[in-house]
Amino acid sequence: MTHSTDAQVALVTGAAQGLGFQIASCLFNAGYRVVLTDVNADAAQAAARSLDPEGENAIACELNIAKKADFETALKVALTQFGSLHVLVNNAAVTKATPVMDISLDEFNEVVNINLGGVFVGCQVIGQYMAEQGYGRIINMASLAGQNGGTSTGAHYAASKGGILTLTKIFAKELASRGVTVNAIAPGPIDSPMVKALVPEERLPTLLGAIPVGQLGDGDFIGDMVVQFARPEAYFTTGTTWDVNGGLYMR
């Protein structure tokens, strides 16, 4: 792992824990300077310190993805600290498993606004900056739930993740001629705190039984996929969704 002064800079949303932190760690270990953002500022700070106690190559920034101004602030922080920003990973999301017929309109709007609206605003604000620079890599974290209607998650979560697949194509078309690629990764059930929170221990064997490969996915492998998408050599891949779901959904 080397962090030279001209190392590329990545910003990850929802990076304080779980898959977001694993993605940030993989980018950091691949030599990227990383801005770890999260709605929980203290947790983001602790996560950044665990990667880089000196704070030279990993820093934290509070970011609520439902607020456009927060993305604008995070961009300023990245530029002030590191001088540029090359990679955006839209990972943050809220998950609720309310049964479909019990979801209030307010709850539906809230989840879709945060998850889908957050990716939209992130692509818009950071994508604009990248287009002006003539280079960028945006990776959106979608989900198997957005492809098959969801299994353990709520309808609003699944709908928001399905929308992310479409937004990925929209921004890929918009930004392709400016050196910016936009891709998505759609994980199935990953061995992560989120899945463990949604799936009770007694239901785990049933879940594993339904996955053709018979086990949960690996978060660090997802992180490695993000690193591949983030590379300059990935210029010929845009508007795609990479499926990582153990064979639960094939196309």
160 CB-near residues (< 8 Å, 6+ apart):
93, 111, 112, 114, 115, 116, 146
Type and span of the H or E element at 229: helix 219-230
Q: Are 43 and 63 in contact (CB under 8 A)?
A: no
d(CA 216, CA 230): 25
Tokens linked to 87: 């990679």
Tokens linked to 118: 């957050």
Tokens linked to 220: 């660090």
d(CA 157, CA 114): 10
Which of 32, 129, 135, 157 is labelled catalytic?
A: 157
Number of other residues whose CB lies within 10 A of the CB of residue 246: 20
d(CA 162, CA 146): 4
Q: Is 157 a catalytic residue?
A: yes
d(CA 193, CA 173): 34
Per DSSP, the residues of 37-106 read EESSHHHHHHHHHHH-TT-SSEEEEE--TT-HHHHHHHHHHHHHHHS---EEEE---------GGG--HH
Could you list the active site residues? Answer: 157
